[in-house]
Amino acid sequence: MTEGTEFYYNLSTGAVEEGRQSPVTDLMGPYPTREAAQRALSTAKARNEEWEQDDQAWEGGTDS
């Protein structure tokens, strides 16, 4: 890997791409490593759950 290489997770194929090879609407990223791109969906899920908890705390509710 050369410095500045970026990796993307392709939502359509489930593959990791080195550099932007597909339409941006199909991609998540950029990520600094192939491994980070492979974890894109689990990272997004964890962040969404955290944000949902933050929203509930902000609103004063505990629906979970």
Give 3's pLDDT tier (boundaries 50, 70, 90). Answer: low
Domain boundaries, the chain: 7-57
What's the rounded Cα separation, in Å, for the pair 40 and 54? 21
pLDDT (tens digit per residue) in 24-62: 999 999 999 999 999 999 999 999 999 888 888 888 865
Q: Is residue 40 within 8 Å of residue 50, measured between CB atoms?
A: no
Burial of 37 (0-12, 13-18, 19+ CB in 10 A): buried
pLDDT of residue 61: 67
User: Position 40: which residue type?
Assistant: A
SS3 29: strand
Q: For residue 20, is pLDDT > 70?
A: yes
pLDDT of residue 1: 47
Closest to 19 (Cα-Cα) out of 31, 9, 10, 6: 6
